[in-house]
Amino acid sequence: MKTIQVAVIVGSLRKDSFNRKLANAIVKLAPASVHFQFVEIGDLPLYNQDDDEHQAASVLRMKAEIEKSEGVLFVTPEYNRSIPGVLKNALDHGSRPFGKNSWGKKPAAIIGISPSPVGTALAQQHLRGVLATLDMLTLGQPEMFLQIKDGFFDDSGNIGEASKKFILRWIDTMIQWIELNSK
């Protein structure tokens, strides 16, 4: 059975982040043929173009991890009705130096959870625009604007019964999207 490599980027650095929890639960739920690699973005410096010719070790590591993946899964919280600065900072680093955009042509998928689905929806809308600029191929439908609710996660941090089938179906769609669009 063919395996695929998917890089996972979580937009929040908070230890008990719901979106990190969501990413972990997706990894557990997905078929074994998908190898997920969590890409750390919390150790990146603030982007400064003056460093383009001597990028920090953490930047080079992140870029290498993206480049060897066949697709990228963004699990994104929302801050102030847009993408967390932390996530945008990682996207900016990965796009540089000029002509060495690590994101280019990679298929991508976006999912997120917030106290109201409004939060993640607004963040995802901005993220889509940025990913198009980065020349990523982003899965369009179904949109996944998840809401934090009792029972969404069970006590072991898995997706609860009520949402499991729904999330599994989306994971399948994501896998097909990445397989179809990765080179």
| Residues of the shown chain interacting with a second copy in the complex, contacts defined by CB under 8 A | 12-15, 17, 42, 44, 46-50, 79-92, 95, 104, 116-118, 121-122, 125-126, 128-138, 140-141, 143, 145
Dihedral of the alpha carbons of 165, 161, 107, 82, in degrees to the nearest 10: 130
Select 29 or 40, whichever has its Cβ closest to a second copy: 40
Select 83 or 167, whichever has its Cβ closest to a second copy: 83
In sequence order, which residues have a C-beta less than 8 Å from that of residue 155 and are 6 or more positions away? none
CB half-sphere exposure, 65, CA atoms < 13 A: 22
Q: How near is the Cβ of 27 to a second copy at its closest, in Å?
A: 22
Select 84 or 175, whichever has its Cβ closest to a second copy: 84
Select 26 or 106, whichever has its Cβ closest to a second copy: 106
* E strand or H helix at 111: strand 107-114
- Amino acid present at 102: S
Q: How near is the Cβ of 154 to a second copy at its closest, in Å?
A: 24
Tokens of 17: 């982040």
Q: How near is the Cβ of 96 to a second copy at its closest, in Å?
A: 9
Q: Tokens 């397989």 sit at which residue?
A: 179
Q: How near is the Cβ of 1 to a second copy at its closest, in Å?
A: 25
